[in-house]
Amino acid sequence: MRLSDVLSKAPKRDYTQVDAFLLNKLGNVGQKVDLSVGQVMLNYYCTHCEDLRTFYSKGKLSCIFINKHLISIDCVLVCGCGTNVQIWFLVESENDITSQTPLIRILRRSEQLSDAVKINTSRYGDFSSLLDKAEQAYRAGLGAGAIVYLRKIFEKITIQTANAMGITYAQYEGGNPKNFSNLLQEVDKKCGIIPKEFSSDGYRLFRELSGVVHGEYDESLGLSKFEPLHRLVIGILENVHNSRELEDAKKALGWCKDGEEDT
């Protein structure tokens, strides 16, 4: 496996053996080395193309040594339309990175996003930008920050749905519900925002997300829990989005609530 193959995938905690790419280099602090490791390819949503596209690295990659176990890599990835995104990687090696068989992993990955480049599509409306921020925090190693954004999404979609359905609830001065458990229960009873696969654990998910706010998580635990928590939050957004699409389709067909056609 080449270094570019690892850089073209989501960061993993396990080390991966790659072909030698810094063989016999001195590895002095601040030493810059050009790399011949192939192209980095990552998927982003291009607002110009209005689609999820594969962005390819442009030009030769280079790295800067921090030490013989840590290097920094900067590159520019370009969409076919010319839209670009700047990416930074912090790559760690378990052994000597200048050896014949370095074992590496991506310790950090950071993107310089813009209005033209997003991590997620616009499918979820305002929630897409919050998902982007959650994933950026996660890739930067900020587990607690990443989960705070997921909690915000869960809370916001619940409140938004409650307001749309005319559900009243006691609020604090800032507008947050005083009893989120009761509100979630009522919203889910009327709208079924929690997917049936974990419908009985809706508030349990919120408690899990809230643990970071109350200092029950450290960064390491937040990072380890991010992916499954992220998937469950995505499940809620998908559930709400699909329900709205189905309602719109029924209205377009002129169907009544009881399944009869309008006359």
Q: How confident is the model at residue 6 (pLDDT cuts 50, 70, 90)?
A: very high
Instruction: For residue 88, give both structure tokens.
Output: 């930074």
Is there a contact between 76 and 58 (Cβ–Cβ < 8 Å)?
yes
- How many other CB atoms are there within 10 angstroms of residue 114's CB atom? 12
pLDDT, tens digit (0-9, with 9 covering 90-100), for 65-109: 999 999 999 999 999 999 999 999 999 999 999 999 999 999 999
In angstroms, what is the C-alpha Rg of the chain?
23
Instruction: For residue 48, give both structure tokens.
Output: 């110009």
- State the DSSP string of the chain: --HHHHHTS---SS-EE---SSTT----TT-EEEE-----EEEEEETTTTEEEEEEE-S-EEEEEEETTEEEEEEEEE-TTS-EEEEEEEEEESS-TTSSS-EEEEEEEEEE-BTTEESS-GGGTHHHHHHHHHHHHHHTT-HHHHHHHHHHHHHHHHHHHHHHTT----B-TTS-BS-HHHHHHHHHHHH--S-GGGGGGHHHHHHHHHHHHTT---HHHHHHHHHHHHHHHHHHHHHHHHHHHHHHHHHHHTB-TTSPBP-
Nearest in space to 102 (alpha carbons), one of 25, 16, 32, 26? 16
Is there a contact between 51 and 116 (Cβ–Cβ < 8 Å)?
no
pLDDT at res. 263: 46
Residue linked to tokens 């030769």: 60
Is there a contact between 134 and 230 (Cβ–Cβ < 8 Å)?
yes
Among residues of the chain, what percentage have pLDDT more than 90? Answer: 62
Q: How confident is the model at residue 64 (pLDDT cuts 50, 70, 90)?
A: very high
Q: How confident is the model at residue 256 (pLDDT cuts 50, 70, 90)?
A: low
pLDDT exceeds cutoff 60 at 253: yes
